[in-house]
Amino acid sequence: MENAILVVNCGSSTLKLALFDSHSLRCTATGLAERLNHDDAVARIPELEGDFPLPAGATHREALEAMTKALTDSGLLSGPPAAIGHRVVHGGENFREAALIDDQVLEAIEHCAGLAPLHNPVNLSGINSTRSLFPGVPNVAVFDTAYHQTLPPKAYLYAVPYSYYRDWGVRRYGFHGISHSFMLTEAARRLGKTPATTSIISAHLGNGCSIAAIRDGLSADTSMGLTPLEGLVMGSRSGDIDPGLFDYLKSRGIAQDQLHHVLNHESGLLGLSGQTNDMRTLCDLAEHGHEPSRIAIEVFCFRLARYIGAMMASLHHLDALVFTGGIGENSSRVREQTLDNLKLLGFDLDQELNRYGGEYSGGHIESPESRFPVLVIPTNEELVIAREAVRLTSASN
Ligand code: AMP
């Protein structure tokens, strides 16, 4: 594929790749490497048959090399890509939009690593790898925080001493901005409106979960904060807790670094159910009478409903509530149970449309009585990154 756009998304132990045609922006291949830096690292390109093992302990760079070689050998990628787009988790206050990567941009991303120590360093390793693998090809950084840079101070400030913000950048940044911005453009398209006049509440519910109030095209509030730990209940993250918990648990012998691990990796759906962070499995367990799983789902949906109500405070009208992410797109139970808490606000689902996730109704799952449209829209973060890579490099010329 000539003039391909390569999209690179490095997670802590995963690497996702996608190839797009730069003219049509059609996705031509995808790839996923998992368990990187572990003995059983493995990679898979669905367009090529089967998994292929990576060397034990393979790094992001080694996985990227192996996967781009496989894409090249198979002819899915012919020659260097026209441009490369990277997902970068934290852009701090430096980036209000995507950026063409140069040394200055790299330095600014490094500077933000203190705010996202689990994410920015692996994002940087992806950027450095593609820069040396494909010298001369432009690289573009697309930030998960950038879309939320329009949050007003009343939404981004914590009520702590102001100097913490001024001197150390302590504020709410918000994440999943790439997905929330895609929800805006897709919802606007389906509603026959322009993005700039569209106001939605966007609920991205995957392993990580966040919600955003988008007012006339701009992010006005969101549930994640300084880090992606704040807000909704997630797969293994607690979301909101009382910071008083820190002192109390210290008195119970739980050290701060242990608590950090517990809140990020042993809480959320996993912590509540004692079983799994996987919503599909939890729904199965709950249906078979497993009470902790039922309660985990109930807490998840109730917290989400509270946040949907809270997002109303930032809007002057609402064009649609939008569900996306693995759970938002696939779990009719979660959508129904969440909106059952919001009858007073006028949300009402059509059970049949909800069961099929809006597949045959342009994404709509609301009943005719509902005060607001409710949409299910599959997210496509890779496409947003590819679009930005084209926009900033004119790679389609
Ligand atoms: P993501 O991080 O967006 O890939 O989403 C992962 C989450 O989506 C996991 O909790 C999955 O269990 C959940 N999920 C995927 N398919 C379904 C389904 N059919 N029903 C319920 N949850 C699902």
Per-residue pLDDT tens listing for the chain (397 residues): 458 999 999 988 899 999 999 999 999 999 999 999 999 999 999 998 878 889 999 999 999 999 999 999 999 998 999 999 999 999 999 999 999 999 999 999 999 888 888 889 999 999 999 999 999 999 999 999 999 999 999 999 999 999 999 999 999 999 999 999 999 999 999 999 999 999 999 999 999 999 999 999 999 999 999 999 999 999 999 999 999 999 999 999 999 889 999 999 999 999 999 999 999 999 999 999 999 999 999 999 999 999 999 999 999 999 999 999 999 999 999 999 999 999 999 999 999 999 999 999 999 999 999 999 999 999 999 999 999 999 999 765 5
Contacts of residue 25, defined as CB under 8 A and 6 or more positions apart, other chains included, come to 5, 383, 386, 387, 390
In short, whether 363's Cβ falls inside 6 Å of ligand 1 is: no
Contacts of residue 171, defined as CB under 8 A and 6 or more positions apart, other chains included, come to 156, 157, 158, 165, 226
In short, whether 235's Cβ falls inside 6 Å of ligand 1 is: yes
Query: Which residues in 21-55 are b (16+ Cβ under 10 Å) and which e?
Result: bbeeeebbbebbbbebeeeebbbebeebeeeeebe
Atom 21 of ligand 1: nearest residue by CA position: 280
Q: From ligand 1's centre to the CA of 279, what distance in Å? A: 6
Q: From ligand 1's centre to the CA of 178, what distance in Å? A: 19
CA distance 33 to 126: 13
Q: List active site positions.
A: 144
CA distance 253 to 247: 10
Q: Which residue blocks in 89-208 are alpha helix, DSSP H?
A: 103-111, 120-133, 153-156, 162-168, 177-191
pLDDT score at 1: 46
Are the C-beta atoms of residues 92 and 145 closer than 8 Å to each other? Answer: yes
Sequence letter at residue 88: V
In short, whether 206's Cβ falls inside 6 Å of ligand 1 is: yes
* Length, in residues, of the chain: 397
Are the C-beta atoms of residues 172 and 151 closer than 8 Å to each other? Answer: yes
pLDDT score at 183: 98
Q: From ligand 1's centre to the CA of 217, what distance in Å? A: 27
In short, whether 207's Cβ falls inside 6 Å of ligand 1 is: yes
In short, whether 179's Cβ falls inside 6 Å of ligand 1 is: no
Site to probe by mutation for ligand 1, drawn from 209, 210, 279 as the one with most ligand atoms within 8 Å of Cβ, is 279
In short, whether 340's Cβ falls inside 6 Å of ligand 1 is: no
Site to probe by mutation for ligand 1, drawn from 275, 276, 280 as the one with most ligand atoms within 8 Å of Cβ, is 280
DSSP code at position 320: E
- The pTM (predicted TM-score) of the whole model is 0.95
